[in-house]
Amino acid sequence: MTWLTVDPGEAPLVVSLPHTGVEIPDDIAANLVSPWLARKDADWWVDRLYDFAHDLGATVIRTAISRTVIDVNRDPSGASLYPGQTTTELCPTTTFDGEPLYRDGMAPDAAEIDRRRVAFFDPYHAALTAEIARLRESHRRVVLYEAHSIRSLVPRLFDGQLPQFNLGTNSGGSCDLVLTTAVEAACDGSGHSRVTNGRFKGGWTTRRYGQPALGVHAIQMELACRGYMDDPATPPTPDTWPSPYRPDQAAPLRAVLSEVLSACMAFARDPA
């Protein structure tokens, strides 16, 4: 499967990149309002931001398929991760800003959603499951790190400017407090803003795989894009979004993220 990349490592850490893809099959693209809208909410450049992860020994799993096709970080049953709050579906029909993604009458029906789940969602999670199981054979603990990003200002989803670092642990249920504290310390040492279990508490992957009693600890990192690219202060347009990856801007953030991933591995390897 050319759209699914699994880069195995031997450290007790799996880095999941579920939203960096922008590929859209032609049969689906034909039903969309525009290619730009369909790719607008990608986690832009996050795969480049974390391109050092495998050098640390982590296993990296990435889908090249756009989240507009299917969001592999949503509950496959269709249940909302945030009841009562605005969110997008397993197969999104609107952007984060509420713009329709599909032309009238062309949104996916139940059969089409199921087809996409079988084609893309299930293989992604089969790869995650297999890699976690492989690493558990040689490590007492394994950390699953969900890497995400989003624009700093999305009024439909949250008020005001999002903190730079947004940690999600399913309100403490998906990983040990020791791991959360270590990741928080790495973020707080940067001097940038941080919140834990704020607007983003971890998506379906964090909640599904985070089973501390079974040795699997899951944590989600939602970054504000401004740490590594120009983040528009006004609603984005095709002329302003996505803005380019800024290596100089990203360098300090990458240093912090390297500390974060190292903290994850140190926790997993701690014999205590």
CA angle, 176 as apex, 174 and 180 as ends, to 5°? 90
Residues 187-212: pLDDT tens digits? 999 999 999 999 999 999 999 999 99
Q: How far, in Å, CA of 201 to CA of 173, rounded? A: 10
For residue 137, the model assigns a pLDDT of 97
> Which two tokens mark 72?
């592999």
CA angle, 15 as apex, 218 and 227 as ends, to 5°? 100
CA angle, 205 as apex, 110 and 133 as ends, to 5°? 115
Mean pLDDT of 208-221: 98
Residues 18-31: pLDDT tens digits? 999 999 999 999 99
Positions of E strands within 151-228: 165-168, 194-196, 216-224
Residues 41-94: pLDDT tens digits? 999 999 999 999 999 999 999 999 999 999 999 999 877 777 777 778 999 999
For residue 78, the model assigns a pLDDT of 76
- Domains of the chain, CATH where assigned: 4-269 (3.40.630.40)
Cis peptide preceding 163, ω within 30 of 0: no
